[in-house]
Chain A
Amino acid sequence: MKNIFGRNFDWHLFSIWIILAVFGIIAITTASAAKIGDEIHLKNYYWKQIIWLMISIIAFIIVLKIPLPILDMLIYPLYLATIILLIIVLFMPPVNNSRSWLFLGGVSFQPSELAKMMMILLVSKLIAKDYLNELKMLYKALSVVIIPVFLILLEPDFGTTIIFWGSLAFMLIQAGFPASYLVIIVSPLIGLIFSFNWILFVIASLILIYYYYRESLSWVLIAFSTVFNTFIFILTPVFWNTLKAYQQNRIITFFNPMHDPLGAGYQVIQAKIAIGSGQVFGKGFLQGSQKNMNFLPEHHTDFIFSVIGEEFGFIGTFLLIVVFFVFFNRIIYLIKVVSKKEYKIAISGIFAYLLLQTFINIGMNLGVLPTTGVPLPFISYGGSNLLINSFAVAIILKYSEYRDI
């Protein structure tokens, strides 16, 4: 064991990871249970998840054991392989209107999960060089990200795309890319979002200009950005009107699930009822009643948080988010102490990748964020998801052995 777990092996993070995975198995067990009278019927999901946890632990050990130079060498070919998988997946039969699953002899797998990890590893390798100026850094990062993001948008999978951009932003900031530049890049969204109200748009633009001024950006850049945003602001309504009614509805529903009360809205309301009805102490293990509702078909995957809320109450959900908080806080600590720039960037990317998944999923269960098919890391049922997320943790642990201290 000594040679697997090195001197600087972070037992804290490892233990929290195990706690989360076990929590997940308990939640899956109860989420897949149904009661008729006094009989309890269990689907075999929890058992499958245990097997996947074993596989994840093996993958964990392999990642830790493999010498760093070899891992380094594998990044390029694995990145290319995921791109090929992302292309293949477009020809697969759709599941829930999205072609994101690959089926290999009874095992299904989402290449976009792997793509996120490979993107993080490759980008951090490329932008860690000290001699890069901002433009080159951005150019290198985008060249890695643009192809997988395009392919994933074709599937289509919005949640994953958002996580991609989010991770990229964290990595760029970590690499020393000025935050104000990122704000400039993202700022056209303001034109998009406030296109319905010019007063809000003007206020937002003024705040931005003040911020740019404080960050002492050049006036040419500020002027260019503001004009561009105004352009987007004017064009958005024009573009919106060219959309067909059903396309408009789809976008409205994405941001406001209640717009489609029988579809996305119904899932959200049922999830809220399940969580709310759990109250402080919950209804008890296997005792939840809302989860059996067939309007929550994803209750062992995307909506598993609602099952936890129903059966374990506020005590359970609060405990879970505290564990997640401790987990992410530990990662922040590791980012701080890791010595090599490339590793810092990679861990930041993974941090954002896991944090965004967690936030988007729980937010969706609570009805505060749009419904996207993003699972809850380590908790939701799903083999490839658990495996990739565990792989991510393994990478953090491997990189974090190189410390300043």
Chain B
Amino acid sequence: MNQKSKTVLLYRIILGAIFVVLAYALFSLQIVKGSQYKEIAERNYVRIKSLEAARGVIYDEKLNPIAVNNPSINLYYKPFLIKDKEKMADFVSAYLPISKETILKSIYDNRYSTFNEVILCENIDYAVMAAISENLNYYPELFFKVETIRSYIINNHFTGYVGRINEKEYNTYKDDGYKINSLIGKSGIERYYERILRGNAGYEIIQVDAYGRNLKIFKDNLSKKPENGLHIVLNINLDLQKYVNSLFPEKTAGAIVVINPKTGGVLAYSSFPEYDQNLFTAPISNEQWSCLIDDPQKPMLDRVINGSYPPGSTFKTVTGSFGLEKEYVNPQTLLASCIGGLQIGNRFFKCWTSYGHGRLSFIDAIKVSCDVYFYDLSKNFKLNEFAEFVRKNHLIERTGIDLPYEKKGFFPNNEWYTKRLGKNFGSQGLKANLAIGQGEVLTTPIQLCAYYAAIANDGIWKKPHLLKKAIGDRTLLYEELEENINKTLPISEKNLKLIQEGLWQAVNGKNSTGGGARVNGVKVYGKTGSAENAHGDDTHAWFACYATWDEPELAIVVFLENAGHGGSMAAPIAGKIISYYNKNVREQ
């Protein structure tokens, strides 16, 4: 046999062997075992049942629940079992608040995934379920499942809410085990700690025939237990949180945030007006949605991290520490005499009081919040150096709080002004405005609070955070989850003491602006602010403060939109919070 015919023979043998193997496998599968497989296919004997993991509960620091799982009866259908979609849609829409069009659209949208279980309605009343159940034998495509619905104990802006996964999220996360009906954290803690809260679904493989015999298609009894999500314990103190919520004046928008300066833990976190997140756990109606969206007070806006505002006089500590650090002034230096304002270039910059404060030293200037002192101080500043200093106080970049979508602060520099005002802008007036926290500077309440907490904590800046720990199968502390939680303020110990002294005087001194925050038996340090703004006639009322016992335990920022003066509106609220904490939280 020559080489040529040898190779051709080899090819024929290979082809023949492959043909025989495939034909045999087909014969065995389709003819020998065909009826068995047909039965499996028809009865759906081999099935994977997904075992859902329970979502972790969100607790406050005392393990009072804030977000919990309640049972919910949900109605589903399987498109491939539909006999008459019109009849089915009529039937369902007669019992449930869901329109026929919505049902038909859902069927159309799922026409290529007909074996999926598609959800129709959640949280169905028991009586309605009973009424529907009587007719279910006419509609084999419909079935109920008892699942859970997330429920939030108090209205708040930090837990966020969960909802059904949308198409975009599904495409991003489907490899992580999400299904088309999965719940996913949409905002707040629910989103930020989604991975921790969610856990991992398990499965159970059902592979028995009508007589209960194991079909042995898979290895025996393959199943995986679901791993439940971890519970999250927040630093929030629910009693304090409720008390803080109760302090908001009627019809006022604003934010209050309370931090423990030693740890950065957030004890209370309020943004007003509030809204009920429970609206979002089930499909929300159009009226409810537009009601929330069209409200001019924007209840959906989380003002603690997503609202940025001119900080007003609360910013004078930053201006002051820059002046001290750069040695433009020392504690004894007296600057220009306040006669109710100061002439800078061709403009007269007013102080907040037209009576004037006279010539002041540093601490007195903080105490009475004299604008003229800081106008005069700012004359020496180089704008870019000042901007860099503000950045180092963590008032521009995000704090990194454990919530999604945090907003940055803003402070302009030379380049920014050049772009808008041209090359030869006059910087003196702009700097004077910035020095008192007006003009372009913007901070969020959380940034300001973290900054004041750092002053209280002797210059050590802690990343503010809601999570204390995650508990469950294992325990995870916040420190294990996040990095770089400590930073320092760019200020020497000596100068920091001066700032602290100024803040002490601003609350406790004679003629001080923040007297409203005084609390018996507690050392309160703070600064008022009344920020002019483009949006209203009244100024934004600010009060930023901290309170110490043996150690600093509270840093508070109260921010009220267009509410008037910080001293009269915001400071007393901070005082009440400190007093409440002193009586009801500390002594427990």
Contact = CB atoms under 8 A, between A and B. Distances in A.
B10 A173 contact: yes
A265 interface: yes
A145 interface: no
B409 interface: no
A276 B46 CA distance: 14
B34 A280 contact: yes
B34 A261 contact: no
Give the size category of A's interface with B. Answer: 35 or more
Given A37-B84, A317-B26, A294 B15 contact: no
B40 A258 contact: no
A379 interface: no
Contacts of A368: 21, 25
B29 A366 contact: yes
Contacts of A325: 15, 19
A275 B116 contact: no
B25 A277 contact: no
Contacts of B217: 269
Contact of B85 (A37, A266, A314, A332): A37
A277 B15 contact: no
Interface stretch (A11-19, A233-241, A285-293): A285-293
B80 A35 contact: yes
B42 interface: yes
Contacts of B15: 325, 328-329, 332, 355
A276 B34 CA distance: 5
B82 interface: yes
B165 to A, nearest CB: 15
Contacts of A43: 112
Contacts of A373: none
B579 to A, nearest CB: 56
Interface of chain A, main secondary structure: helix
Given A261-B205, A294-B115, A273 B33 contact: no
A111 interface: no
Given A37-B83, A276-B29, A314-B27, A321 B34 contact: no
Contacts of B5: 336
A37 B140 CA distance: 12
A276 B82 contact: no
Interface in B75-126: 79-80, 82-85, 107, 111-116
Contact of A41 (B22, B82, B112): B112
Nearest to B36: A276
Nearest to B12: A332
B33 A276 contact: yes
Interface in B387-415: none
A292 B30 contact: no
Nearest to A259: B219
A84 to B, nearest CB: 30
Nearest to B10: A173
A176 interface: yes
A261 B218 contact: yes
Given A173-B10, A280-B34, A292 B205 contact: no
Contacts of B3: 176
B424 interface: no
B172 to A, nearest CB: 13
A262 interface: yes
| Most chain B CB inside 10 Å of its own CB: which residue of A278, A335, A355 | A278
Interface in A302-348: 309, 313-314, 317-318, 321, 325, 328-329, 332, 335-336, 348
Contacts of A276: 29-30, 33-34, 36-38, 40-41
Given A35-B80, A36-B111, A292-B115, A278 B34 contact: yes
A313 B35 CA distance: 12
A368 B38 CA distance: 20
A328 B12 CA distance: 9
A132 to B, nearest CB: 15
Contact of A318 (B23, B42, B113): B23
B46 A261 contact: no
Interface string A230-266: 0000000000000000000000000000100110011
B82 A262 contact: no
Nearest to B15: A328
Contact of B113 (A170, A289, A294, A362): A294
A258 B37 contact: no
Interface in B1-52: 3-5, 7-8, 10-12, 14-15, 18-19, 21-23, 25-27, 29-31, 33-38, 40-42, 46, 48
Given A261-B48, A368-B21, 5 more contacts: A276-B37, A279-B35, A294-B113, A321-B23, A328-B15
Interface of B: 3-5, 7-8, 10-12, 14-15, 18-19, 21-23, 25-27, 29-31, 33-38, 40-42, 46, 48, 79-80, 82-85, 107, 111-116, 203, 205, 217-219, 222
Interface of A: 34-37, 41, 43, 170, 173-174, 176, 258, 261-262, 265-266, 269, 272-280, 289-290, 292-294, 309, 313-314, 317-318, 321, 325, 328-329, 332, 335-336, 348, 351, 355, 359, 362-363, 366, 368
**What 3 A-B pairs are tightest by C-beta distance, nearest first?**
A276-B37, A277-B41, A279-B34
